[in-house]
Structure 1
Amino acid sequence: MGENSRFSWLGCMGLIFALALLGTLIKLGQWLANEGRGILIVLIVALASVAGFYIYARYMRKQKTQLRAEIEQQTRNEKLILRLAAENKGYITAAEISLNSELSLEDAGKALDELKAKGACILRISDNGTYVYQFELLSYQEKQEAERV
């Protein structure tokens, strides 16, 4: 019974607070309507500015997160392509990448073209017209025999 009386007391206090707040808001609204139009305009502009900044900040955060995810995905794709090329003695096609990964044929071709643009591989064309990308992979022996610069 003591528990219920405490909730009743809290409920009454909450009701009194809500009524006092409502009365204050009504009086404030009457004052703003009669005497404080200038302040009302300033408050509306300030509120709109804060809301606009909040929306812009959320949008920018979302864009930044999306860009970070795209960069991470591109890095994973590059590593996958390099690993598959190493397994194929440095030669790979977009179809082989597509078969051995989640990348579509089109995405695999784009990723290979980006690596070619970075200078990571060279493009060759087979007799049947298939694009073959060649990655220069050095053996352990070739790495040891490399000259100092």
Structure 2
Amino acid sequence: MKNILLLVVAVLLGIGGASQALSADIQTISKEELKSKLGSYEYTILDVRSDNHWDASDNKIPGAIRLPGDKVDVWAENFHKNTPLVLYCACEGLGTSGRLAQKLMEKGFTHVYALSGGWTEWLMNSYPVTHK
């Protein structure tokens, strides 16, 4: 019984460590900070929601550029690596935005942020949206 408990704890710690490995290097930006910067062009905002989430909504964060996940490689080749980027997806965690932020950092982008809380929390707080 003691061995089973130790195994369960070890597995849970391993799972937690795996998720931290993805997010450890990813910087986040709060929805409040992003909201305060809207219109300043300080960040390029990238909407990386899945096609299903994109199609299900008529709106996006003001100024956001749609970037389907399967187009990141092509887009990254044609964009300046020092441009500050904010990625957001539909989930409240780092899901797609975290995965793609990490991919962009691996391609040499130096100022990449994932929106904490994503599109879901942005809407829950009634922050500005614009028709896409």
| TM-score interval for Structure 1 and Structure 2 normalised by the shorter chain | under 0.3
Structure with the higher helix share, 1 or 2: 1
TM norm structure 1:
0.26
Structure with the higher strand share, 1 or 2: 2
The one of the two structures with greater contact order (alpha-carbon pairs below 8 A, sep at least 6) is 2
Bigger radius of gyration? 1
